[in-house]
Structure 1
Amino acid sequence: MQGFSLLCTSEWSSQTKRGLVSLNCSFSMAGLSSKGRRRTQMWMIPGADARQVAFSKRRSGLFKKARELCTLCAVETALVVFSPGGKAFSFGHPGVDTIMNRLPNLSKPDLEAIQCTEAEYEASLRELNKEYSDIMEKLRAEKLRGERLKQMRMESQGQGQSLVERPVDELNLEELLTLKSMLEEFKVKLRKRMQELSVEAGALTLISAGEIDASLGGSTEGNSSGDPCDHDVGHAS
């Protein structure tokens, strides 16, 4: 271990009538080694966390130096610093806005650029208003169409109920054809439902279509198809 000597001198002076009195104090120490204050190398600090810590410390020091400069030299200063994360920090005397407004490029905005931006904004606004109007018009048309379909459905259901409830002798040919179509559709749905119930009940054999037709139509004289609706229609015609 290399030897080391540290010399510390403290001097206190006082002017009196008898003269100058000086006090000198020195001491030495051996057996200690120190490299002293080292210069920080100027390259980017590796690691985001380490850079953030260094930024926080040096930002405070930078603002402190700017504040001291304003106090000692009566200057006006504005500083804007962005962190590694993009957050802005500022210091200004008498204020950041006051200093920035005094810059010629910022105090006199480009009128042509502003007018161009306003024109683009107005054009975009007109286009959006047109699209909105078209969408609202389509929405109103679809809503009206839905109301019409709902009304037609209700009328159709009411007409079907009235045909079933009215006596067959009072129906004309068009109404009889409509009733026949309704009964045929009902027969198809009934056959499908009976087959589903037969499967669910665990029947070994499914009811054939002919047996279902026979159970629905029965044996009708003068009707080769076994459909009472065909007989009624032919009689009415």
Structure 2
Amino acid sequence: MVRGKTQMKRIENATSRQVTFSKRRSGLLKKAFELSVLCDAEVALIIFSPRGKLYEFCNSGMQKTIDRYQRLARDVQINNEAVEPNMQHLKCEAANMAKKIELLEISKRKLTGEDLGSCSIDELQQIESQLERSLSNVRGRKTQLSKEQIEKLKEKERILKVENRMLHEKAKQQPTPDREIVPNSQIFPHTYVETELFIGIPERGTMRLPPQN
């Protein structure tokens, strides 16, 4: 049989309410005992029945546990009182930062040409002046970077010219090796060169023999 979900409200029937109290009280005392034994925890449980009867469980002395609880609760309260002003300050700072961020977002949209419908003439003139100043700063920075890059290129060109001149001077200082002139007759001893000029189509099958010495 499936048990239905218990509705969390006061049981109107007195008998059923007393039976439920007895069952839940026994289960709660059992769980408190198990928690203290299994986990080595300091547990104190106080229960008053609807008729005012006291039921309690404590594994290390009820008064000792109550004193410890009151001392720790007092320390927590003191810490909370000390932290509360700081928390209020942090909340105010967070709210101010949120407002500043919102204003910056609105200003950013206006600078990009958005949400200009609610701007007056004076506001539009201020935005225009701000954009002109920004554009002037950007152009100035661009010009500066261009000049720096040109100076670097000029310096690099000067260094390359110096290196090129040094290489030329070094090449001039190196001696040129002497070359021995050898006659063609010694290089090609069996080569004959024909110097006669022929005009017309040469005859086929004709072979000219080298002159006889």
Give the TM-score normalised by the residue count of structure 1: 0.28
Q: Please identify which structure carries the higher strand content.
A: 1
| More relative contact order, 1 or 2 (CA 8 Å, 6+ apart) | 1
Give the TM-score normalised by the residue count of structure 2: 0.30
